Amino acid sequence: MQLSKLSEVEFRAMILRKLNSMSKDISTMSKDIETLKINQVEMKNDIAEIKNTLEGLTSRVEEAEDQISELEDTIENNQPSRKPKGKNKTQEDSLRELWDNWKRNNIRIIGVPKEQGNEQGLENIFEEIVTENFPNLVKKEGIQVQEAQRTPSKKNPNRPTPRHIVIKMPKIKDRERIPKAARDKQQVTYKGNSIRLSADFSTETGQKGVA
């Protein structure tokens, strides 16, 4: 359509139609913008709610960690003469059972000087002890070690006795055989020094004579 051929009335009518169409487009855009603003507010509210939920969960986790830490401290500081009663005793028995189950494959070596542990690996020391004192066990089935470490010295770093060595065995039957063999032999030595081998149970369980 050539504008030059339009009459003034037709030209005005065309302009009005264009303006009306533009007005509708602007109105639609305004509604879309308003909808976006509403959605943005809703998203902010959702984010704030999620943030509050996460903060609440974090607070609960921290509270649970504090309770566990307090319970561990209570058990560690418990004197042998104190005998817990009722619910507390049940909780401590449950924790002790979990602790013993977790360490059921461990053997504790008592009396090996720290200097000897520094000169050679702890696993090698254990193998030498077993070979020196229980050669038949090594010949028949062999002994495997999963992990070996010194116990930390938390209470008294200057303690005169060496820190214990804890050996983790991959097989429970090996853990059971070695303390039994040590009891049968009665005296276990390492390079001429008397040492002790025992299962790595809690103090209370050890006092009950569980092997």
* pLDDT given at position 118: 58
Could you tell me what percent of the chain has a pLDDT over 90?
0
Residue 133 has pLDDT above 60, yes or no: yes
Residue 155's pLDDT band, with cuts at 50, 70 and 90, is: low
Could you tell me what percent of the chain has a pLDDT over 70?
71
Distance CA 38, CA 141 (A): 75
Residue 116's pLDDT band, with cuts at 50, 70 and 90, is: low
